[in-house]
């Protein structure tokens, strides 16, 4: 055990075995199978009754009416028993399917609520929606239909063969020819090339789902800026990829599927039986009455196999792949919780020797169960990981209470990664981050999110009232507190202009612009009243007046809070107490904005390359001479 003892993850064992989800329902599956066996055997009775009826009617001498009635009653009873038991089996199977799907969705919801937020931030809404929706629904045939089809595919042929062997073993072997031909074609569907085409098809379908969700969510902004053509291009590309994958998959299996269907088709089965029967009748090896059971049971011999190999086989393959993707999500490890949480003393933040690379994170995210079907997945991730690199390299930084620290730097320098470590979206690969003298890994996650609030550029608002969106972290907040937070974020007046003010349901009664949504998100963070506030370009979409208001609010709040800000637009750092310049994951310069400009070092060069209207403002506030304007 490392220095930081962690509590065991209660769901980790399940993440390694999806069978664990089905274990509580084994008795239900047993009932489905037993009922289906009885129904399948009973379903053969009417066919056997027809055979015996034919023999009774074709036998020389007077007809035995008593025997005929017994055969008719037996056939009708068999049909009734079959309908009763197969109906009960199907009903129980569908009830099990509903419960299993509910369990899958509950497990997924619980797992998604525990996975690192950084893992979620790298997944699209469409991708997760497909797993929780389409993939869970794809399990339906596997639970509700395939067990019954499997039983029928084995029990019906087995009982039929036993009976037919007692009639004539030679014609029985001839009747098996269609089944043997169809089964011989099955391995051709399971070749690596066919499996790869099926996986490409699933991936293409996932890209369509993702692109549709993204396009619909952003359609208003896209149309407003005349970018509908560009927005459609991604969707059209996804559709083209899907069509190409579909054609490749169909071309690969069309001939094989046609061969299976032909081999198991009633005309081919009847033709095979008639040819074999005619040959045996011609040699005197059997009587015409003995041919009748082969004509009837021959179809009963192949029909269940045809259903299993046809749609049943496809459904099983689709369900297997869907369960694999669900398993991937369930196998994602949660950030370890401390076995003995420690409460921070104050809200001073210190980063000591922090190094971070996504390589180790991806390795843990995709630590799947050691089963053959996931071996290729693990190899692909290992190959991807070897090409990864460190994003942060030895960061030493102290954030004092009552100060605003701004992080600047070129794209790819590690700014967003740095601020995402503070609310513990990920854990650093090396080094430590402490809050109030306590390592973040020693703080209970619920306590950590109470102490650290964050606002990011990608704002997500709920389909709920404006008041509920602002009070998300404090659901029982007073209305006055909600209004106070909205005023600080300079969004109160805009809310009053909405159809129902603070009771307006976003997405139903009204929609907000990007800047307005961002101010709602800022109000949410302010209402949370966390002593540490992290902002990742939180004013990216704000107009100048709103930006000034938000900056004034942050200056007021910084009196007793620790604030960390990413600034892509340098005018947002004019009031910062300290600026940190990142390059290639390392801090290359730090200090007050005016002091850094006066040094004429890397920050000054970065400032010149990103010249903005804030240059003159910082000069004025920092007392720089006008001649030093960058």
> Which tens digit of pLDDT belongs to each residue from 564-610?
888 766 666 777 888 999 998 899 999 888 888 888 888 888 887 77
CA separation, residue 619 to residues 569, 600, 624 (Å): 16, 13, 5
Given this model, what pLDDT does residue 367 score? 42
b vs e for 265-285, b when ≥16 Cβ sit within 10 Å of the residue's Cβ? beebbeebbeebbeebbeeee
- Residue 10: per-residue pLDDT: 43
Structure tokens at 272: 């095979």
Identify the CA nearest to 579 among candidates 619, 532, 569, 567: 567
Q: Cα(354)–Cα(430) distance, rounded to whole angstroms? A: 6
Residue 397 DSSP SS3: strand
Q: Is residue 298 within 8 Å of 171, Cβ to Cβ?
A: no
Taking the C-alpha atoms of residue 193 and residue 208, their distance in angstroms, rounded to an integer, is 23
Instruction: Name the E strands within 442-549.
Output: 452-456, 532-536
Burial profile 371-400: b = 16 or more Cβ within 10 angstroms, e = fewer: eeebeeebeebeeebeeeebbbbebebebe
Q: Chain centroid to CA 255: how far?
A: 33
Q: Name the nearest CA neighbour of 88 among 21, 142, 28, 143.
A: 28
pLDDT of residue 372: 36
487: nearest Cα among 438, 546, 445: 546
Task: Spell out where 417-526 has E strands.
Answer: 430-435, 438-439, 452-456
CATH class label, 6-330: mainly alpha
Q: What residues does CATH 1.20.1560.10 cover in the chain?
A: 6-330
Residue intervals in the chain for CATH 3.40.50.300: 353-591
- pLDDT band, residue 541 (cuts 50/70/90): low
Q: Which of 41, 36, 42 is nearest to 144 (CA)?
A: 36
Q: Which overall architecture, per CATH, does domain 353-591 show?
A: 3-Layer(aba) Sandwich (3.40)
As a whole number of angstroms, the distance between CA 620 and CA 598 comes to 13
pLDDT in tens, 92-141: 888 888 888 888 888 787 777 677 666 766 666 666 777 777 778 777 77
Quote the pTM value. 0.57
């Amino acid at each position: 055990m490392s220095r930081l003892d962690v509590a065991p993850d209660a769901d980790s064992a399940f993440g390694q075995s999806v069978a664990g989800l089905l274990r509580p329902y084994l008795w239900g599956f047993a009932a489905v199978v037993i009922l289906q066996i009885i129904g399948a055997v009973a379903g053969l009775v009417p066919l056997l009754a027809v055979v015996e009826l034919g023999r009774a009617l074709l036998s020389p001498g007077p007809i035995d009416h008593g025997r005929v009635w017994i055969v008719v009653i037996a056939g009708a009873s068999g049909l009734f028993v079959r309908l009763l038991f197969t109906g009960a089996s199907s009903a129980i199977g569908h009830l099990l399917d509903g419960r299993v799907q509910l369990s899958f969705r509950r497990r997924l919801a619980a797992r998604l609520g525990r996975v690192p937020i950084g893992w979620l931030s790298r997944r699209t809404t469409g991708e997760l929606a497909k797993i929780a929706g389409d993939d869970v629904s794809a399990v339906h045939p596997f639970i509700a239909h395939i067990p019954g089809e499997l039983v029928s595919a084995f029990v019906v042929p087995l009982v039929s063969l036993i009976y037919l062997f007692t009639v004539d073993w030679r014609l029985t072997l001839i009747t098996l020819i269609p089944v043997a031909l169809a089964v011989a074609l099955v391995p051709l569907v399971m070749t690596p090339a066919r499996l790869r085409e099926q996986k490409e098809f699933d991936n293409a379908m996932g890209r369509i789902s993702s692109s549709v969700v993204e396009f619909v969510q952003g359609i208003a902004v896209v149309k407003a800026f005349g970018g509908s053509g560009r927005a459609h291009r991604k969707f059209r590309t996804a559709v083209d990829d899907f069509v190409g994958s579909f054609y490749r998959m169909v071309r690969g299996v069309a001939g094989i599927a046609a061969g299976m269907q032909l081999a198991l088709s009633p005309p081919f089965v009847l033709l095979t039986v008639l040819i074999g029967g005619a040959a045996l009748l011609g040699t005197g090896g059997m009587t015409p009455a003995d041919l009748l059971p082969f004509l009837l049971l021959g179809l009963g011999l192949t029909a269940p196999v045809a259903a299993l190999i046809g749609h049943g086989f496809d459904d099983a393959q689709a369900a297997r792949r869907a369960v694999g993707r669900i398993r991937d999500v369930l196998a994602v490890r949660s950030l370890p919780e401390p076995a003995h949480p420690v409460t921070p003393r104050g809200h001073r933040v210190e980063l000591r020797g922090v190094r971070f690379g996504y390589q180790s994170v991806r390795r843990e995210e995709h630590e799947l169960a050691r089963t053959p079907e996931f071996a290729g997945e693990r190899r692909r991730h290992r190959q991807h990981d070897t090409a990864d690199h460190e994003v942060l390299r030895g960061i030493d930084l102290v954030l004092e209470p009552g100060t605003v620290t701004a992080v600047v730097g070129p794209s790819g320098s590690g700014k967003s990664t740095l601020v995402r470590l503070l609310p513990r979206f990920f854990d650093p690969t090396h080094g430590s981050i402490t809050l109030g003298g306590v390592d973040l890994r020693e703080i209970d996650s619920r306590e950590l999110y109470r102490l650290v609030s964050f606002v990011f550029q990608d704002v997500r608002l709920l389909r709920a009232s404006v008041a509920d969106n602002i009070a998300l972290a404090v659901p029982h907040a007073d209305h006055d507190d909600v209004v106070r937070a909205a005023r600080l974020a300079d969004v109160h007046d805009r809310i009053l202009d909405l159809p129902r003010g603070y009771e307006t349901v976003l997405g139903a009664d009204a929609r907000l612009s990007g800047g307005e949504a961002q101010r709602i998100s800022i109000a949410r963070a302010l209402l949370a009243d966390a002593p540490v506030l992290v902002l990742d370009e939180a004013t990216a979409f704000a107009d100048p007046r709103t930006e000034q208001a938000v900056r004034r609010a942050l200056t007021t709040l910084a009196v007793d809070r620790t604030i960390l800000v990413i600034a892509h637009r340098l005018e947002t750092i004019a009031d910062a107490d300290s600026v940190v310049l990142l390059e290639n994951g390392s801090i290359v310069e730090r200090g007050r904005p005016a002091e850094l400009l006066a040094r004429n070092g890397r920050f000054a060069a970065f400032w010149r390359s990103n010249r903005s209207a804030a240059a003159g403002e910082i000069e004025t506030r920092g007392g720089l001479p006008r001649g030093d304007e960058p």
